[in-house]
Amino acid sequence: MMTVTVRWSALVLSLLLMSGCSTMKGWFSIDDDEDPRRPVELQKIEETVKVKRLWSTGVGDGQGDGLYRIEPVIGGERIYAASSDGEVKALQRSNGRRIWSRDLKTLISGGVGLYGDSLFLGSSDGFVLRLDAATGETRWSARVTGEVLAPPQSNGRVVVAQTYDGKLHGLDFDSGERLWTYDSNMPVLTIRGTSTPIFRDNLVLAGFANGRVLGFNATTGAVEWEARVAIPQGRSEIERIVDVDGTMVLAGNELFAASYQGNIVAIEASSGRKLWERPVSSVSGLSQGFGNVYVADEDGTVFAFQRNGQGQRWRQDALGWRGLGRPVTVSSYVAVPDFEGYIHILSQVDGSFVGRVRADSKGVSADMLSDGNVLYVYGDGGKLYAYELSAKPGN
């Protein structure tokens, strides 16, 4: 009974945190006008960037009802996308036309990972699947210990998958046989989600709900180093939540990670030595560009921190409590989605608003992708969009 109670509490918490809270009215009988976390109303902006939709296509039921963040992945001239109801598609990046489509007849909760000619997906009932990227055919399916909420990753020898029960699994690339498992010892309460593991040669970098990032030997699963992103503080279990759930970024030998109710940190990937840190509370993850690291705080503030640790470059605080997703760099801009499905385009130079488009009224939970001046947005309702960004004449 304790497990059910804990999971329900975590689900309620994740709904409040991840949905933009649409306000807490009804939970605590607080009037909207008095709710300090009420999402701000959007103000008109001067749009100096043209956001042109190139194409859109449907992919199943999108994120479904499971609070998932199933993200597409780019592979050469293709983009691969999956939905929670098991539909997987390979599309031409130039026009969105279907190359192949498969119904896996299983509920997908994590993906899409890509290495070489293979795609990797995680299911809600605890399986990791390897598909042929050329045809969509299943090469193997391997059981793990729980729901997989992030894209499994590979270096061509080992496939790693992180499960919601706090474990990291290493699987044989060719057969799916389990090679090793690491147990992080989950806190009592966590936010629904996990970070996505990152490979650096034979080193696997992974963040956990206990506020730590670890480096593993991919072959053996041995822990090479450990770094704290945040230390749990407070008396209640809610106050002590410090999940490292959002997308981490590896740039050269620098790993950037952020936690809820904690910090953004820069870590030396080879050793785990902490280079610098700044207070922030985020579960959506980071991106980097123009010598900056970008992160969206849970309160709706978008920060640009100097990558070299010299402090804050700029901040944009006009999107208060709008449930922001991961900022993504595209051309010379930063794009950030909100809980109502608006994509806000900011200047990488000073954080000013330069454009806006609404992709999906149901919201955008999955990480967006970019290549050059094209932004790919997978809406929660199941539509995948490609947008081209360009400066308007005279700007």
pLDDT digits (tens, 9 = 90+) for 22-46: 333 333 344 556 788 999 999 999 9
pLDDT at 28: 36
pLDDT at 31: 53
Which of 121, 152, 133, 131 has its CA nearest to residue 74?
133
Q: What domains are there in the chain, each with its CATH number? A: 45-391 (2.130.10.10)
pLDDT at 300: 98
Cβ-based neighbours of 84, under 8 Å, separated by 6 or more: 60, 61, 62, 63, 64, 65, 66, 68, 70, 107, 108, 109, 124
- φ/ψ of residue 64, rounded to 5: 65, -155
pLDDT at 66: 87
* Spatial distance between the Cα atoms of 121 and 112, rounded to a whole number of angstroms: 6
Q: Which two tokens stand for residue 320?
A: 């208060």
pLDDT at 7: 36
User: Could you check whether the bond before residue 112 is cis, i.e. omega within 30 degrees of 0?
Assistant: yes
Task: Report, as ranges of residue numbers, the positions in the chain whose pLDDT lies below 50.
Answer: 1-30
Strand order in the sheet with 254-258: 249-251, 254-258, 262-268, 274-280
Cα distances (Å, whole numbers) of residue 206 to 171, 227, 246, 288: 15, 10, 11, 18
pLDDT at 118: 98
Which of 88, 78, 85 has its CA nearest to residue 117?
78
pLDDT at 35: 85
